[in-house]
C-alpha cells in the first residue's frame, strides 16, 4: 500500500526552501499530495500573494516530487483531505510546530526544518523597495535633501 504524505502552503514566490520542504516530504512516503492556498483563503488569513492562485497551483503541480496539487480553501479542509486520500503522514515546516497536533488521531504529524535564510516573507520585504509608496517616500526625502543642499550653494 502507498504511503501518502500531505502538506499545505501558499507557495508564493516559489523558492528553494519550498522545493527542499517538498522533496523532504516526498522522501517520507510514496505519494505527495499538496494543498495550495487559494487567493480567497489567503485573504481570509490577512495575506496577499504576489503570484495568483492558478499560477501557484500550476507551478506546484509541475514539481517533479509532487504527485497531486489541490486547492486549499479553508482551515477545516485538512481532516477531510486526510480521510479522502488515505493520508499516512501530514507534514509541515517547523514554523507550524504544534499547530496541527490535533490531527494525530488520524495520521502521523511531522514538522520538518525550514531552509535557513529564505522565505517568501523575506523576499517580499526585499521587493518592497520597489513599492510605489516607498518610491514616493524616497522621492520626497530626496527633495528635502536637495533643498538643504541648495541652501549651502
Catalytic residue among 3, 26, 47, 132: 47
Q: Residue 95's CB: how many other CB atoms inside 10 A?
A: 10
Q: Which CA distances in Å does 95 have to 12, 92, 99, 128, 144? A: 16, 8, 9, 23, 42
Phi, psi of 90 (to 5 degrees): -105, 120
Q: Does the active-site annotation cover 47?
A: yes
Catalytic residue among 3, 45, 99, 139: 45
Q: Does the active-site annotation cover 124?
A: no
Beta bridge partners of 9: 36
Active-site positions read 45, 47
Amino acid at each position: 500500500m502507498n504511503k501518502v504524505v500531505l502538506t499545505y502552503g501558499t507557495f508564493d514566490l516559489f523558492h528553494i526552501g519550498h522545493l527542499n520542504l517538498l522533496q523532504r516530504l516526498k522522501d517520507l512516503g510514496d505519494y505527495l499530495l499538496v494543498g495550495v492556498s487559494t487567493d480567497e483563503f489567503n485573504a481570509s488569513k490577512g495575506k496577499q500573494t504576489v503570484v495568483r492562485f492558478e499560477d501557484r497551483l500550476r507551478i506546484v503541480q509541475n514539481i517533479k516530487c509532487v504527485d497531486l496539487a489541490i486547492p486549499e480553501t479553508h482551515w477545516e479542509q485538512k481532516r477531510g483531505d486526510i480521510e479522502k486520500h488515505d493520508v499516512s503522514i501530514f507534514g509541515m515546516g517547523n514554523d507550524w510546530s504544534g499547530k496541527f497536533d490535533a490531527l494525530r488521531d488520524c495520521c502521523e504529524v511531522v514538522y520538518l526544518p525550514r531552509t535557513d535564510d529564505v522565505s517568501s516573507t523575506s523576499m517580499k520585504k526585499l521587493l518592497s523597495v520597489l513599492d510605489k509608496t516607498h518610491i514616493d517616500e524616497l522621492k520626497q526625502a530626496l527633495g528635502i535633501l536637495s533643498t538643504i543642499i541648495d541652501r549651502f550653494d
